[in-house]
Each structure stands twice: as C-alpha cells, then as structure tokens.
Amino acid sequence: MATQWEYKIVETLVSAGHNGPDQIEEFMAYINELGAQGWELVTDTIIYTKGWQTTQYPVVLFKRPTLHE
C-alpha cells in the first residue's frame, strides 16, 4: 500500500534580515519540535494575496505519514 501523507502549512515572518536572533532561535525550536513529532520540511514558498494591495505570506510546508490503524 502506498504511503498516505498529511500536510501542515506554517506561516513564518522570520527573516534573517528583518528579525533578531531571538525570533530565529524561537522559530528553529518550533520546527525542531515539529521534526520530533515526525513532520518533515518539504519546501518553503510565498503565498500572494491580492486586494487593494498585494500581501506576501512566507510559509513552510511539512508532511508526515498518516497514522492509520
């Protein structure tokens, strides 16, 4: 049987050019916690929304196998 996956999208406003070391360390701790829960980082991207102005949301995508009994 093929592996089935579940996915998690996490918005992040962390950027080395715009945040201090504390925010980056906090985010690293969070994604390490996700890794300990079995989540694997797949990719990062930016989601754009359009309205009266374009907004950018940097996100990271994680996946892990579903836990079927």
Domain boundaries, the chain: 5-65
Evaluate if residue 60 carries a pLDDT over 90. yes
Is residue 9 within 8 A of residue 63, CB to CB? The reply is no
**How many CA within 13 A on the CB side of residue 20?**
1
pLDDT bin (cut points 50, 70, 90) of residue 52 is: confident
22-35 pLDDT, tens per residue? 777 888 899 999 99
Q: Does residue 63 or residue 49 have the better pLDDT? A: 63
Using the structure block, give the residue that is written with the tokens 């579903």. Answer: 66
- Burial annotation 14-23 (CB, 10 A radius, 16+ → b, else e): beeeeeeeee
Cβ atoms within 10 Å of 57's Cβ, excluding its own: 13
Domain 5-65 in CATH 2.60.120: no
